[in-house]
Amino acid sequence: MALRPEQAKALIEMVMGTRDQEMTCDECVADIAEFVEVQLTGKPVSEALQAVQEHLDRCHDCTDEYHVLRQALDALAEEDGR
């Protein structure tokens, strides 16, 4: 099966956007709580946590984990604000 030009371009862009040392899903999940906490406090994301964001940009499974955690923490914050 041949790739359409736009598929080939997207694939090349994904490959070009990778690093020598990519974060694994296990590493991402281990750091995701800290990442969400930093986001909720409005602090700047450290260089170490940038890798979490980059991983989330590429991994749908970890992005789902992020959204579940974020929603849970947002709901807790709403309850505390009552």
Kindly state whether residue 38 falls inside one of the protein's structural domains: yes
Judged on CB neighbours under 10 Å (0-12, 13-18, 19+), 65 is: middle
In a domain, residue 60? The reply is yes
**Local confidence band at 20 (pLDDT 50, 70, 90 cut-offs):** low
pTM: 0.68
In tens, the pLDDT along 6-16 reads 988 887 776 66
Q: Is residue 13 in some structural domain?
A: no
In a domain, 2, yes or no: no
Q: What is the pLDDT of residue 15?
A: 64
- Residue 37 resides in a domain: yes
- Does residue 6 form part of some domain? no
Overall domain count for the chain: 1
Mind listing the pLDDT tens digit for each residue in 56-81? 998 999 999 999 999 998 898 888 87
Q: Which domain holds residue 27?
A: 23-80
Got the DSSP string for 12-28?
Answer: HHHHHT--SSPPPHHHH
Q: Does any domain span residue 30?
A: yes
- 33 with 52: CB under 8 angstroms? no
Flag whether 50 is in a domain. yes
